[in-house]
Structure 1
Amino acid sequence: MKVTHGQEDLGPYTADDLHDREDEGRGRELENGWLLESSPSAAHNWAVMRVHDLIRDAVSQAGAAAFVAAGGWEVTTPAGIRKPDVFAIPRRIAKAAIVERDVTIIPGHELLLVVEVVSSPGRSERTDRVCKLKEYAALGIPQYWIVDYTPVPKVQVYVQDDAIEPFPLGRVYGSYRLDQVVEAGNVLEVEVEADKPFTVRFAPQVLTEF
């Protein structure tokens, strides 16, 4: 429930507060009861589009039943609602949201891969590198990529830590390990698990080429 002090809204906020805004929450995430606003630059949006297209092409080439989304899609996490820059989900989940409209917010545990492009130093950077790292790991998302486009294009690939032992009632997630760090001048090659695994391969410098 939202608490109001005078004319200033102090929070905490709920998903209803996010969606009841005049802008329907566009450009905002819900983190532990607070609404966080993002103002991505043109360079950030270009890098996001490039990553999206590269992953989508890899999915298509492999013939995997996966859908690659970018921008504006809402995903549930332990902290609330996130709007990842890019993510891949099984096609059936995308169909439920787009065609059947049975899903309004994508369950975070359904993601096959999630990517965040770091937009700027400061709070948004900390959110991508610290907060979301923990949230996405806790959901059991197999891979999390953190992409930098400045000062040097770079991709960090985090994967679920296999050292975590399964409990009798099922696996307990909660930890990533850094698997790869690939900068401009080298080539990233990552296999992503899906109904048909797909391999994403590219040189990070393409994220800033026009």
Structure 2
Amino acid sequence: MHRSVAPFDGSRTVSVAHDRDGFGPYTAEDLHAREDEGRGLELEDGWLIELSPSAPHNLAYRRIHEFVEAAVAEAGAAVYADRGGDWEIGTPAGIRRPDVFAVPSEVVRAAMAARSPAPLPGHEVLLVVEVVSPGSGSERTDRVRKIEDYAAAGIPQYWITDLLPRPRVQVFVLDGRTGTYRLDLTAEAGEVLEVKVDADRPFTVRFDPQQLAGF
């Protein structure tokens, strides 16, 4: 969920992190040079985008991460799954911090060995998940801009998760011929989402979207 709406390209609005008196464009170097090292921010086409997730949003993505991590462990895959947090994903638009992502373990080991703030390469990522905050500035970004950006980065799967009016997960799969996503399946509360993710050892994530809401 984004705050502080400011004009972007004339066709939509985004919230811009206040830095350098609001003047851009910004680079990855600008992002990492901040005192907070860019935590809680994304870089999109030269703008620093401030993220301010809600409690229901946080609960949902944490549970999705648990399901993905459990599936990886069950399969014995050499895959690292995590919540966005301090990890960055490089895309054509700049830098993204998806709510949940999965990437081969070797990619993370290489990044940690380099001790560099450089983002993980988007084309190495296996899966990204975003939880939509309805009515926020980020909703259009999740549904439109990121579906283009993640596809352009070559990420095989993108899941869009809605909590309202009832929990639902849409799974988009990258079409190798067109380089765009196609909607592969949708699971709503009361149904079982079952998705296979390709890796060194493919793993299958299963859960009822209803589990993403409430206690």
| TM-score (normalised: structure 2) | 0.86
The counterpart of 2:153, out of the listed 135, 139, 155, is: 139
User: Among 196, 199, 207, which residue is 1:202 paired with?
Assistant: 207
- Deviation string for 1:170-207 (max 9, x for gaps)? xxx63000011111011100000000100001100001
1:103 shift after superposition: 6.8
- Offset of residue 149 of structure 1: 1.6
Aligned to 1:186: 191
Task: Please say if residues 114 and 145 of structure 1, whose CA atoms lie closer than 8 Å, have aligned partners that are also in contact.
Answer: yes
Alignment correspondent of 1:31: 44
Write the letter of the residue equivalent to 1:186: E
CA positional deviation for 1:148: 1.0
CA contact (8 A) 1:96 1:103 kept: no
Q: How far apart, in 2, do the equivalents of 1:42 and 1:192 lie?
A: 28
**Pairing partner for 2:62 from 42, 49, 61:** 49
Indicate the RMSD between aligned Cα atoms, in angstroms: 1.5
The CA deviation string for residues 76-122 of structure 1, in whole angstroms up to 9 with x for no partner, is: 10000011110100010111223553673100110011111112323
Query: Aligned-pair distance for 1:160?
Result: 1.2
Opposite residue 131 of structure 2, the aligned amino acid is: V
CA contact (8 A) 2:32 2:117 kept: no
Question: Which amino acid is 1:68 matched to?
Answer: A
Query: How many residues are treated as equivalent by the alignment?
Result: 195
- Between the aligned partners of 2:117 and 2:38, the Cα distance in structure 1 is 17
* Residue among 42, 62, 65 paired with 2:75: 62
Q: Which runs of 4+ in 1 moved over 6 A?
A: none
Match of 1:116? 130
Return the letter of the residue paired with 2:95: I
- Note if 1:94 corresponds to 2:104: no
Distance 1:102 1:40 in 2: 26
2:12: which partner in 1? none
- SS in structure 2 of the partner of residue 156 of structure 1: strand
- Give the Cα–Cα distance (whole angstroms) in 1 for the partners of residues 157 and 211 of structure 2: 21
Residues 128-174 of structure 1: per-residue CA shift (max 9 Å, x gap): 11111001111221110001122211000000125x1xxxxxxxx63
User: Hey, what does 2:95 align to over in structure 1?
Assistant: 81
In the alignment, the residues of structure 2 paired with residue 102 and residue 74 of structure 1 have an alpha-carbon distance, to the nearest angstrom, of 11
Which stretches in structure 1 are left out of the alignment for 5+ residues?
1-6, 165-172
Change (3 A) 1:36 1:152: same
TM-score when normalising by structure 1: 0.88
